[in-house]
Amino acid sequence: MSQADPPRCFALVPCAGVGSRLGAGLPKQYAPLAGRALVCHTLAALHAVPRIAATLVVLAPDDEAFESQVPPALHDRGWVDRCGGATRAATVANGLTTLRTRGVRDDDWVLVHDAARCLLRRGWVDRLIDECLADEVGGLLALPVADTLKREQAGRSLRTVDRRGLWAAQTPQMFRLGTLLRALAAAGPEVTDEASAVEAIGLRPRLVAGDARNLKITWPEDLALAERLLEMA
């Protein structure tokens, strides 16, 4: 492929965490949801997006569950690499390096998506791609904050925080491979999402309207809610 070819889109799914807050007794990406592992729903959604050329799933080095939990058809258009790090940022950075070795160019787009956001829909991903393909920086799915926000101190409300202009970040977050790798290297291991690393090098990611159903499974009640939403879909 020549440098004249247009940038392609790839997905990267960090799948190396433990997810202890879910209390499932196993990494939360393998928690059962509607008869199959949670991560299966995530990969099926990404698989349904034609403009994603391939998906890389980044596992922990000692992961022994993936192949037994995820049917081959859900990762036949992509790769699996056990190069996960101690933090999300390290896992994503390691995955980006793997994508480079697989022939992904620095100007190609990478959509990083949480394995635990398992209710993803093709239309949301298409909207993100449509709005970011011609953008200089890239962007992320996000929602304007609707709730009144409180600053806490010692378990009590200290003051109300002005919510005007505040958005709740979701995934996927879509940036060029080279930009994101540079941003993560500069930001260090503690950043909690890709957009914050990109912001730290002086760039301003585009906010693209997400969906309230694009929830991240963290607590047991989230899993129950996801079950109900899948039944309604």
The pLDDT tens digits of the residues spanning 21-67 come to 454 567 889 999 999 999 999 999 999 999 999 999 999 999 999 99
Judge whether 4 lies within some domain.
Answer: no
Judge whether 223 lies within some domain.
Answer: yes
The pLDDT tens digits of the residues spanning 77-116 come to 899 999 999 999 999 999 999 999 999 999 999 999 999 9
Strand duo 78-81 + 109-112: pairing: unpaired
Q: Is the pLDDT of residue 231 over 50?
A: yes
Question: Which of 42, 50, 91, 95 lies closest to 215, judged by CA?
Answer: 42
Q: Is the pLDDT of residue 76 over 90?
A: no
Span 207-233, mean pLDDT? 92
Give me 44's structure tokens.
């099926």
Q: Is the pLDDT of residue 19 over 90?
A: no
The pLDDT score that the predictor gives to residue 17 is 78
Judge whether 203 lies within some domain.
Answer: yes
Structural domain of 64: 9-232
Judge whether 112 lies within some domain.
Answer: yes
Number of domains in the chain: 1
Judge whether 92 lies within some domain.
Answer: yes
The pLDDT score that the predictor gives to residue 28 is 87
Ranges 9-13, 24-28, 193-197: which has the least confidence: 24-28
Q: Is the pLDDT of residue 210 over 80?
A: yes
Judge whether 1 lies within some domain.
Answer: no
The pLDDT score that the predictor gives to residue 25 is 61
Alpha-carbon distance of 38 to 117, in angstroms, equals 9
Judge whether 3 lies within some domain.
Answer: no
Judge whether 168 lies within some domain.
Answer: yes
CATH number for 143: 3.90.550.10
The pLDDT tens digits of the residues spanning 123-180 come to 999 999 999 999 999 999 999 999 999 999 999 999 999 999 999 999 999 999 999 9
Alpha helices in the chain, H assignment, sequence order = 38-47, 66-69, 88-101, 122-132, 177-187, 194-200, 220-232
Q: Is the pLDDT of residue 213 over 70?
A: yes
